[in-house]
């Protein structure tokens, strides 16, 4: 199970301002800035579909996600500036699968599927990006900054739709976010809070109406 210490270091380049700052706040001189994370996430003890890494900014969520899940973390994807979004999905995906995924994440508007990604609204981009991530051949799909760019109502409703899709398809999905308001809508099987070093399994409940 993922239980280990993670250390991140970056070199400190000395300068007059660095020296002044050290003196102002009585910070001991050092050649590196060091941060340590203890990671204990026993998610392999049970079968699961949805996980949530949540906590305030700077708590190490992204570091933990990349340390534990590595290549499973979805990076920002390039979309063709002029082609329809349906052409941005993997070539092996049938049009039926693309249509089903777009619809299942709450973006059920075929005329908009003909538009390029760049002209979509922020909420539409969020849903389209998740749909494409779920279409890719990944053992686990990890989305960093989950719902960070959409308003909270879109985030909540989108989370419920995504959760339903992930469970129906039997996939594994991990959301990484600083927003606790998606928890009851995403209904994760487990939650990890890096700032509290707390992992807990959850009992599923029906999301709010």
pLDDT tens digits for 185-205?
A: 999 999 999 999 899 998 665
- Lowest mean pLDDT of 69-78, 82-91, 145-154, name the range: 69-78
Q: Work out the percent of the chain whose per-residue pLDDT is above 90.
A: 58
Query: For residues 45 and 142, what is the distance between their CA atoms, to the nearest angstrom?
Result: 19
Buried b (16+ CB within 10 A) or exposed e, 182-193: bbebbbbbbbbb
pTM, two decimals, is: 0.84
- Can you tell me whether residue 141 is helix, strand or coil? strand
Q: What is the pLDDT of residue 205?
A: 57
Residue 48 has pLDDT above 90, yes or no: yes
Which residues neighbour 25 within 8 Å (Cβ) at sequence distance 6 or greater? none
Q: What is the pLDDT of residue 1?
A: 59
Query: For residues 19 and 29, what is the distance between their CA atoms, to the nearest angstrom?
Result: 8
Average pLDDT of the chain is: 89
Residue 75 has pLDDT above 70, yes or no: yes
Q: Work out the percent of the chain whose per-residue pLDDT is above 70.
A: 96
- Mean pLDDT, residues 58-87 taken together: 88
Complete edge-to-edge strand list for the sheet that includes strand 50-54: 141-143, 173-177, 50-54, 190-193, 198-201
């Amino acid at each position: 199970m993922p239980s280990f210490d993670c250390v991140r270091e970056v070199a400190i380049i000395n300068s007059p301002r660095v020296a002044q700052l050290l003196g102002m706040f009585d910070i001991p001189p050092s050649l590196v800035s060091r941060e340590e994370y203890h990671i204990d996430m026993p998610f392999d003890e049970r079968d699961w579909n949805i996980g949530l890494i949540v906590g305030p900014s700077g708590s190490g969520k992204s570091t933990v996600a990349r340390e534990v899940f590595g290549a499973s973390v979805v990076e920002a994807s390039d979309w063709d500036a002029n082609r329809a979004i349906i052409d941005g999905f993997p070539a092996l995906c049938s049009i039926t699968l693309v249509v089903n995924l777009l619809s299942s994440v709450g973006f059920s508007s075929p005329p908009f599927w003909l538009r390029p990604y760049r002209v979509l609204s922020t909420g539409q981009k969020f849903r389209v990006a998740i749909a494409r991530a779920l279409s890719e051949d990944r053992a686990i799909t990890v989305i960093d900054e989950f719902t960070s760019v959409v308003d909270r109502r879109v985030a909540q409703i989108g989370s419920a739709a995504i959760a339903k899709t992930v469970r129906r398809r039997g996939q594994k999905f991990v959301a990484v976010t600083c927003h606790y308001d998606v928890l009851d809508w995403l209904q994760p099987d487990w939650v990890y809070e890096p700032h509290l070093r707390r992992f807990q399994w959850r009992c599923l409940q029906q999301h709010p109406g």
